[in-house]
């Protein structure tokens, strides 16, 4: 996943071999709202939900050691 100043570019690797990939380019100017859930003591993954006009909610799950508050700050700076 890549966060630029204009969009989120995400790659979803599918299948057992990982040969099938789904690419998505999601522009920041279509984001209506976002939500961040950081990892906790028993829950080692974090989640980022983005609501896009015309698309709905898109959820991204992150493994531990990802600075989700910094990602949320970057998104806020790009959409406001």
Q: How far is CA 34 from CA 2, 14, 24, 38, 42, in A?
A: 17, 25, 17, 13, 24
11 pLDDT above the threshold of 80 = yes
**pTM of the complete model:** 0.80
Top-tier CATH class for 2-79:
mainly beta
pLDDT at 25: 94
pLDDT of 57 > 80? The answer is: yes
pLDDT of res. 63: 80
Could you tell me how far CA 39 lies from the centroid of its own chain? 15
Structure tokens at 47: 């989640």
Predicted pLDDT at 42: 64
Q: What is the mean pLDDT of residues 54-65?
A: 88
Q: According to DSSP H, which parts of 1-80 are helical?
A: 68-79
């Amino acid at each position: 996943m890549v966060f630029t100043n204009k969009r989120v570019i995400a790659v979803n690797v599918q299948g057992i071999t990982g040969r099938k990939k789904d690419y998505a380019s999601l522009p920041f100017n279509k984001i209506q709202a976002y939500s961040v859930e950081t990892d906790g003591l028993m829950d080692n993954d974090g989640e980022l939900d983005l609501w896009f006009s015309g698309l709905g909610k898109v959820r991204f799950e992150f493994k531990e050691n990802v600075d989700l508050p910094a990602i949320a700050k970057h998104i806020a700076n790009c959409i406001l």
